[in-house]
Structure 1
Amino acid sequence: MKYRIGIDVGGTNTDAVILDESLTPVAKIKTPTTLDVSSGIYRALLEVLRISNVPREDIKYAMLGTTHCTNAIVERKRLNKVGVIRIGLPATTAIKPMTGWPEDLKEAIGDFRYMVKGGFEFDGSEISTLDEEYLRKIAKEIKGKVNSIEVTSVFSPVSNEHEIKAAEIFKEEMPNVPVSLSSEIGSIGFLERENANILNASLVDVAETTVKGFIKALKNENINCQVYIGQNDGTLMSVDYAMKYPILTIACGPTNSLRGASYLAKQKNALVVDVGGTTTDIGVLINGFPRESSTAVEIGGVRTNFRMPDLVSIGLGGGTVIRKADNKVSIGPDSVGYKLIEKSLCFGGDTLTTSDIVTSLGIAKIGDNEKVKEVDSEMAKEVYEKIIDMAEGAIDRIKTNANDMKVVLVGGGSVLLPDKLAGASEVIRPDYFDVANAIGAAISQISGQVEKIFMLDKIGRDEAIEEAKNMAIEQAIKAGADPSSIEIVDIDDVPLAYIPGNATRIRVKAAGNLLK
């Protein structure tokens, strides 16, 4: 029998599951997320192994969905010093790199920003010849001062030739320093693509430490298996791919929950309401995968345009703090988070939370209901009505029409919500709903996605789509997919009316099974 472990780190709990080769859960565990994240992962791993009694040698895969990279950006800690290289002179000078960034984040990444001659016009013609001599001069200047480099060239989704050449130069001059290329991270939208690429370059060391720490934890338990990391489109990537593109782990937790919800509820098209200890995240399943956001997304105060799930998040979870002042009740948005079992009244703490409310009303049993007997019942009913209103309002916000949709409830905190909700044609709470995120990590496929502008005057539409398909398949293989199992799961092409040459943006996503 071959088994797989799925672990997902949330703001409150770290969840772990073990699935057998038919993807049936055989063990699950929830442990509080720790401040350093890694020790909580190790504890969850040990606990799920202990209760499962699965032989270590039978575990063939391990999948991790982690918040390490998100936390590093939010906390401004452990980030790489980044050499920021913009290729586009004499154009692209109006707004300098990292303009509008929070000052503390700029300080954490360092002030090593350079603008270089080169880049392309929207039709693929050169703005100017790439200044290779200046690139070598920059490399000598920043050597020993930065430990990561990002290169962004204007209109690199049309042609990334200058980005690739610049990367070759930096690898010659600074062979041990990783280089991130914007054409591999973001899409059209120059400043947002550059921002995303800078963030990606800043996360390389965090990702490497996280991945190697996870592998070491597995080896400490005599588990030698293939390791994969969750990414934010609901699929997995190999450890090498994750260390090259760490920004793709941002928001992988909610997407793991969506994929897990789809699998557990056997629903391909539905709304998923994932209630954790700190937040409620609501997303949309389309053909079993999370719907992507069509707008720019802010990460840590920085506007980016790389792929992100389309989510509505509200400050409602099992640890959300309840306050009453001047006869008015407020819900959150702050939470006791991973300290729920210390702070919440039902666990003997001194803070009134949503978990205490549903326990006092007999809706759920969390902790000791004797310890919430003093909670005012009328106030509790008022809070519970507000909780439902918050969830129903968020459901309405993410829908694109007024029709009711099936709603899948997952996450440990989903016990806060009833089995009927306005806007839902049916509310489904599947088995193992409380660890849907870890199950989503464990059952996911490997994907590759490409987004590129093609000039259809030079290349026909069919040929352009075929080329994009091949590029997406190649990305999936690089990420660790079995070539024989890869399928195209999404194609989107949009004509760009403002660009001559019959320009069209083509986005293709391919997904396949894990390599056996």
Structure 2
Amino acid sequence: MIRVGIDVGGTNTDAVVVDGSRVVAGVKRPTTQDVLSGVVAALRAVLEEAALSPDAVDAVMIGTTHFTNAVIERRGLAKTGAIRLALPATASLPPMVDWPEDLRDVIGGHVWLAHGGNEFDGGAISDLDEAELRGIAAEVAALGIDTLAISAVFSPVSDGMERRAAEILAEALPGVTLTLSCEIGRVGLLERENAAIMNACLRGLSAHVIDAFRRAMAEAGVTGRLYLTQNDGTLMDAEVAERFPVLTFASGPTNSMRGAAFLSGVTDAIVVDIGGTTADVGMLQKGFPRPASMAVEVGGVRTNFRMPDVFSIGLGGGSLVAGEGGDIGPQSVGYRLTEEARVFGGATLTTTDIVVAAGRASLGDPAEVEGLEPELVSTALARIDTMLEEAVERSRISSEPLPVIVVGGGSIIAPGRLGELEVIKPGHFAVANAVGAAIAQVSGEIDSVFSLAETGREAALAEAKARAGEAAVAAGADAASIEIVDIEDVPLSYLPGNATRIRVKAVGELNV
């Protein structure tokens, strides 16, 4: 199976060709302002390097920051309505209550509370009021809103009310796109509702962007299927990505970590992805990024959909080195490294210049940094190593000496060891993010509350595993390859009925 993995970053668009378990070719091309011409250039270049015909490609996997950037920059977001099914409960904290004011204003801030919702065991808080929903639909039509988010209390436990409300609204508002919170987030009303609203406001942009990716493939002559990477290190079909653009958030660091595991053959490690400006640090567990256990903020909004536990520090290959003490970053020359760094004939002292002067790396013209003060070089080099060591220690959760895998174009600045930990720099390290996209699997996940008074723990776990596997198959996984990679079982002592919250994740190979 021939796969092409593409990662569209802020500086470079990376592309690789993977044949089975072998990386055939990898290239970097500058990311263009329109993004698409950069994707076309990378596609053509990697196929040429691999000596492949475009029609030999079975699938293209793309990782993109389009949707994250749209939320952060408050651009391309549609006017959106939020409908919560919960009355008479939850009225004190309406939808978007915790959103930044500027973001709420951009999407209109239109919210409605309606009757409905469930208790933790699936029982109704109140019955759905269909006449009430049709009245809301009339208000939505009058406001000219064409995308809605529907949420209900405990809808991951029982999604019937959200789905019935969607049917009523779809009938009353033809052409309006609907996002259901039960299909996106986990248990936890406000964060799940936030994720659904954010997804709804991105639906128009997602259709435009994914259509553009299809056109880029067509322009390059590639006819294989298109997938986008999501933030748990797995794939979703382009049609699914159009419906759920928020699932691409943070897919870049995730792709790098998955690529690091694939290239190194190590499934439990700390990964440091060093770019031109920052280093992203996270932990691999069984070949997948450790998920964040707390609510994650995106653009100032708390969400609870799956996100990797990754943090960034201001250290990269283009970070500025200033002062006699060798202070580093967070400012960086970024994509201008090959123009402004001293080893490339520029006048700016960067971390790349320091490691070349110290003999740790060889690129550019080493003669350009021969005149640097040895004390400055040694001080700055020690500072680089200390920053990386501190970041790695922050990511560790035990004293077990896990290896450190360094990837990314800026990883030339990393030493051979970080304290007691071995440093691995695998082949094709510079394009690990695109490799991670190319080798991604397909996942399914469920997160529900079960009453063990009605069913035993083993039966509840079995049901959760089966549902997660079914979700993975529905997303495009080969049923024969399904495996459970993560189980979380948390008793909820404050609820009656011996309640427990079970989260299960299943993954499988892509079924093409």
Q: TM-score range by the shorter chain?
A: over 0.9
Q: Shift of residue 292 of structure 1?
A: 0.7
Letter in 1 for 2:260: A
Letter in 2 for 1:383: A
1:395: which partner in 2?
392
Tell me the number of residue pairs that the alignment of Structure 1 and Structure 2 aligns: 511
Q: Structure 1 residues 78, 372: closer, same or farther in 2, change over 3 A?
A: farther
Deviates more, 1:36-45 or 1:305-314: 36-45
Q: Does 1:443 align with 2:439?
A: yes
Q: How does 1:476-495 map to 2 (within 5 A)?
A: 476-495=472-491
2:154: which partner in 1?
155
Letter in 2 for 1:128: S
Aligned residue among 495, 500, 509 for 1:504? 500
1:214: which partner in 2?
213
Structure 2 contact 36–216 (Cα < 8 Å) conserved: no
Letter in 1 for 2:338: I
SS at 1:405 equivalent: coil
After superposition, the C-alpha distances for 1:345-386 in whole angstroms (9 at most, x for unaligned) are 433444433223223333223433344455444323222211
Aligned residue among 113, 116, 120 for 1:115? 113
Q: Shift of residue 266 of structure 1?
A: 0.8
For 1:372 and 1:96, the matched residues in 2 are separated by: 60
2:240: which partner in 1?
241
For 1:351 and 1:204, the matched residues in 2 are separated by: 43
TM-score, scaled to structure 1 = 0.94
SS at 2:39 equivalent: helix
For 1:361 and 1:297, the matched residues in 2 are separated by: 39
Q: Does 1:458 align with 2:457?
A: no
For 1:375 and 1:177, the matched residues in 2 are separated by: 63
For 2:182 and 2:116, the matched residues in 1 are separated by: 15
After superposition, the C-alpha distances for 1:72-109 in whole angstroms (9 at most, x for unaligned) are 11111111221111111111122222123222211222
After superposition, the C-alpha distances for 1:139-198 in whole angstroms (9 at most, x for unaligned) are 222236223211111122222221111111222122322211112211122211111221
Structure 1 contact 231–248 (Cα < 8 Å) conserved: yes
Aligned residue among 59, 65, 72 for 1:61? 59
4+ long deviations beyond 6 Å:
none
Structure 1 contact 121–154 (Cα < 8 Å) conserved: yes
Q: Shift of residue 251 of structure 1?
A: 0.9
Aligned residue among 378, 383, 407 for 2:380? 383
Structure 2 contact 325–379 (Cα < 8 Å) conserved: no
Residue segments in structure 2 that go unaligned for 5+ positions in a row = none
For 1:209 and 1:375, the matched residues in 2 are separated by: 50
Q: Structure 1 residues 348, 165: closer, same or farther in 2, change over 3 A?
A: farther
For 1:198 and 1:346, the matched residues in 2 are separated by: 48
Structure 2 contact 326–383 (Cα < 8 Å) conserved: no
Structure 1 contact 317–354 (Cα < 8 Å) conserved: yes
Identity value in percent: 50
1:25: which partner in 2?
23
Q: Shift of residue 58 of structure 1?
A: 1.0
1:363: which partner in 2?
360
TM-score, scaled to structure 2 = 0.95
1:406: which partner in 2?
403
SS at 1:84 equivalent: strand
Q: Structure 1 residues 294, 457: closer, same or farther in 2, change over 3 A?
A: same
Letter in 2 for 1:182: S
After superposition, the C-alpha distances for 1:194-249 in whole angstroms (9 at most, x for unaligned) are 11221121222222222221111111122110111111111111111111221111
Residue segments in structure 1 that go unaligned for 5+ positions in a row = none
Structure 1 contact 12–339 (Cα < 8 Å) conserved: no
Q: Does 1:335 align with 2:332?
A: yes
1:139: which partner in 2?
137
After superposition, the C-alpha distances for 1:479-501 in whole angstroms (9 at most, x for unaligned) are 22122322222222111111111
Q: How does 1:167-246 map to 2 (within 5 A)?
A: 167-246=166-245
For 2:369 and 2:191, the matched residues in 1 are separated by: 49
SS at 1:175 equivalent: coil
Q: Shift of residue 507 of structure 1?
A: 0.9
1:474: which partner in 2?
470
Letter in 2 for 1:321: L
Q: Structure 1 residues 320, 448: closer, same or farther in 2, change over 3 A?
A: same
For 1:104 and 1:377, the matched residues in 2 are separated by: 50
For 2:41 and 2:364, the matched residues in 1 are separated by: 21
For 1:403 and 1:115, the matched residues in 2 are separated by: 50
1:416: which partner in 2?
413
2:78: which partner in 1?
80
Structure 1 contact 396–423 (Cα < 8 Å) conserved: no
Q: Structure 1 residues 135, 344: closer, same or farther in 2, change over 3 A?
A: farther
For 2:17 and 2:372, the matched residues in 1 are separated by: 38
Q: Structure 1 residues 463, 108: closer, same or farther in 2, change over 3 A?
A: same
Structure 2 contact 37–216 (Cα < 8 Å) conserved: no
Structure 1 contact 85–149 (Cα < 8 Å) conserved: yes
Letter in 2 for 1:432: H
Structure 1 contact 13–32 (Cα < 8 Å) conserved: yes
Structure 1 contact 297–304 (Cα < 8 Å) conserved: yes
Q: Structure 1 residues 116, 36: closer, same or farther in 2, change over 3 A?
A: same
Deviates more, 1:156-165 or 1:83-92: 156-165
Q: Shift of residue 320 of structure 1?
A: 2.1
Q: Structure 1 residues 15, 93: closer, same or farther in 2, change over 3 A?
A: same
For 2:84 and 2:347, the matched residues in 1 are separated by: 53
Q: Structure 1 residues 99, 338: closer, same or farther in 2, change over 3 A?
A: farther
Q: Structure 1 residues 486, 196: closer, same or farther in 2, change over 3 A?
A: same
Letter in 1 for 2:377: A
For 1:438 and 1:369, the matched residues in 2 are separated by: 30
For 1:278 and 1:145, the matched residues in 2 are separated by: 42
Structure 1 contact 123–500 (Cα < 8 Å) conserved: no
Structure 1 contact 406–427 (Cα < 8 Å) conserved: yes
SS at 1:203 equivalent: helix
Q: Structure 1 residues 136, 216: closer, same or farther in 2, change over 3 A?
A: same
Deviates more, 1:118-127 or 1:437-446: 118-127
For 1:329 and 1:145, the matched residues in 2 are separated by: 57
